């Protein structure tokens, strides 16, 4: 694999990130220790160095496994983990974005990861109970202590991320260098505000579920037991989802590759920093997905996928892109202004 610069941080990360929510059997569908180690080794042997986990994943087993797998070569790997989700049901201070939970959660993650620092700490989800500057100051304190090197934010509205990074720049604090979001051919709504915001602030994007929970592999196109368990109105199984998936499968057949590789490459091939998070329950799955780095989709293929999965951007985007508005904003000379970003 090649490497990408992770936003403004200058951190060098592999072009595919290994997601480890599947490391551990506690949730009933993950890999055990030995299979998780095989998945990790397949990723590392392919040149991968970017590992994504969280305090909540598989009740802590994911972090324990990652710590065991990386302890002999800790500084080679870029380890990202998260805080915000609960570690103790029924206790409100064991969850959320506030300082008390942050400090406790990071201390416990460091123990499980068997390390003295976290390369990238994600705010896992916005809880709407704290001022951005309060949380940023708490994160900055941990950066200055050396417990964490960089910060990122996940599953949060674009206006909050924009506000936070503007405050951080004004006050000389660490800003968010990464944005983690759901993004795939079935879920393109981040294109309305989150992705343009990330590009404007030079924030790296790490999409989770680039295969839409496996739907884009094509496995739900057939009457399997797994497909029957999904509701027909599911966004991953409805008529639109099947239409998009069939186009992914068709392009994969044309290129003699697997549909998963096509779907992942569609997320990667944007005009900004995008590093998809790819997880697996079996070593064969990660080996298959990693082959996406061996080819690129042609402009024709990208156009076909964009067309079949197109969404309405909504107001104000569609309004501002209309011919009537462009005519009055640019005095009828839109096509002649060569510096316009299109």
As annotated, the active-site residues are: 57
Helix (H) or strand (E) segment spanning residue 47: none
**3-state class of 18 per DSSP?**
strand
For residue 293, how many other CB atoms are within 10 A of its CB?
19
Q: Which two tokens stand for residue 79?
A: 């380890």
Closest Cα to residue 4, out of 46, 44, 48, 42? 48
Cis peptide before 203 (omega within 30 of 0): no
For residue 189, how many other CB atoms are within 10 A of its CB?
15
For the four alpha carbons of 234, 237, 242 and 246, in that order, the dihedral sign comes to positive
State how far the alpha carbon of 151 is from the alpha carbons of 76, 115, 178, 266, in Å: 19, 17, 7, 26
């Amino acid at each position: 694999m090649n490497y990408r610069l992770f936003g403004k941080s200058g951190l060098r990360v592999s072009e595919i990130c290994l997601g480890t929510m599947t490391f551990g059997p506690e949730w009933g569908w993950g890999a055990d220790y030995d299979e998780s180690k095989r998945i990790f080794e397949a990723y590392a042997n392919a040149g991968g160095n970017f590992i994504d986990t969280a305090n909540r994943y598989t009740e802590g087993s994911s972090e324990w496994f990652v710590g065991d797998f990386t302890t002999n070569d800790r500084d080679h790997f870029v380890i990202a983990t998260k805080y915000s989700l609960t570690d103790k049901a029924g206790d409100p201070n064991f969850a959320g974005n506030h300082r008390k939970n942050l400090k406790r959660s990071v201390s416990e993650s460091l123990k499980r990861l068997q390390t003295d620092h976290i390369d990238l700490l994600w705010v896992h989800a916005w809880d709407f109970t704290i001022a951005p500057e309060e949380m940023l100051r708490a994160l900055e304190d941990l950066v200055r202590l050396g417990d964490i090197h960089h910060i990122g934010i996940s599953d949060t509205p674009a206006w909050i991320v924009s506000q936070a990074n503007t405050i951080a720049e004004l006050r000389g604090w660490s800003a968010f260098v990464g944005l983690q979001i759901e993004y795939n051919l079935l879920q393109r709504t981040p294109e309305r505000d989150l992705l343009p915001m990330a590009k404007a602030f030079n924030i790296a994007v790490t999409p989770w579920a680039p295969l839409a929970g496996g739907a884009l592999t094509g496995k739900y196109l057939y009457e399997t037991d797994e497909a029957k368990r999904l509701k027909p109105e599911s966004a991953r199984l409805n008529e639109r989802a099947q239409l998009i998936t069939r186009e992914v499968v068709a392009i994969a057949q044309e290129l003699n590759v697997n549909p998963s590789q096509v779907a992942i490459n569609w997320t990667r091939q944007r005009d900004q920093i995008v590093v998809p998070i790819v997880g697996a329950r079996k070593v064969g799955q990660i080996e298959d997905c990693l082959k996406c780095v061996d080819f690129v989709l042609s402009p024709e293929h990208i156009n076909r996928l964009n067309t079949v999965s197109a969404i309405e951007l909504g107001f104000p985007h569609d309004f501002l892109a209309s011919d009537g508005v462009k005519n009055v904003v640019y005095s009828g000379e839109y096509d002649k202004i060569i510096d316009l970003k299109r």
